Chains A and B, each alone.
Chain A
């Protein structure tokens, strides 16, 4: 089984490069990459030329200072067993010492300089994911306590205990499978609080809830999950063009049943331009979670509990994941760029709305343009309490309903499966009562 080894010796082993070898060090920005003989830069298609001439994204190296050896130690006693607290601190399980990791926002100036962003700036944890097959998620550590080899399956865990000396080993360094983000936002809402919120949310909707859901409802099974997101800052400008109408007159013609109201309006060509900066826009970095097909899943529920107080995120430290599960990022910046552009255009449309008040007959936008000058991408794990219920639908796959609690703010949203016949019956009963009242009114006053 192939795996990535983090035993401290990265082995340089450059050796001699052949003519087609990958260069260890990319050329500095602006330097032309030498082309094979017979190929001329000027004759290449423009898109290929731009790709070759473009500089690599600027990378922010966000590290917590956690040991590359895989053992996170208490700064006071050196023990490797730690526990995250709801206060955002880590606590040593031996000497009870508590400490916090530095907030990345201040340490790396992530909230600043958005107006000066040009091109793509990304954290080391937002690098492209290398597809190296199923074994890419296995990371092997050499335990510094006893020298034993310990494997961690990063698909579902970021730490493991050495089976010989009981040291806790954690994945601290960036690996190219998307499992290690730049930063993590610790849980603040406790499990008991989350259970209370889920119970209250479902309780308010229990009358029309599916009978099986009510019977099997056990919010104690809620799971604390760290979900992968990209937190994006953007420096953008947008333009929108369309037509707007202002009413100049309205008049009614005809009599009796043939009355018709007509409107006169002046038509204007409307154009708006706006430059704006966006701070900490969260975008789903998992292809599964970013699929919002509402007939097939309820991922919109998890999307709704955004945003998080991402300014309180700390540099990646696997110790914060102890006792929780996590999902890996599987989307790269290129794949998420259309989502960012889409959201920036929506923001631009929202920002220009207040300038359209005089168009009392409304505005129809026909064309829009986005100029994304720069963006900064930081990969982050965000904390979510997730309760799920699988609704079976005959031979079909069924539907997975979520009730999600924001692990920081406590905002709760959910999808409760419905007892359809019960809701239909209630609607028909109400309709019958209303219809009966209408008929009574007509009989009393209409005759």
Chain B
């Protein structure tokens, strides 16, 4: 049996526990709504001026096995970083 076929078998065997966990997690959130809050970023009237952008190359990150930048947080608006 080739390596790829073995990968598929492992993935199929994981379907049971994964499906059970996903179902529990989905129904828990559906009933309890612990993840919900006011989406003030999009539900508030905001009048923003044009964004001022400054970008310059500072280096390269070659032969990395990560699919995205380490610590990606551009869409995690509510995660605070260091204030200056």
Contacts and interface: CB of A to CB of B under 8 A. Distances in A.
Contacts of B5: 446
Given A268-B56, A435-B13, A263 B66 contact: yes
Given A245-B61, A280-B44, A364-B72, A263 B31 contact: no
Interface residues of A, number: 91
A265 B27 CA distance: 40
A109 interface: no
B9 A427 contact: no
B49 A208 contact: no
The SS class assigned to the B binding surface is mixed
A423 B24 contact: yes
B59 A280 contact: no
Contacts of B77: 346-347, 349-350
Contacts of A79: none
A389 B27 CA distance: 19
Interface extent on B, as a size class?
Answer: 35 or more
B42 A303 contact: no
Contacts of A260: 65
Interface in B25-84: 27-28, 30-34, 36-38, 40-49, 51-75, 77-78, 80-84
A272 B77 CA distance: 14
A362 interface: yes
Interface string A25-53: 00000000000000000000000000000
A263 B32 contact: no
Given A273-B51, A368-B80, A423-B24, A347 B9 contact: no
6 contacts: A243-B69, A245-B61, A269-B58, A273-B54, A365-B81, A446-B1
Given A245-B69, A364-B73, A427-B21, 8 more contacts: A244-B69, A306-B38, A346-B78, A415-B32, A423-B24, A430-B23, A434-B15, A442-B13
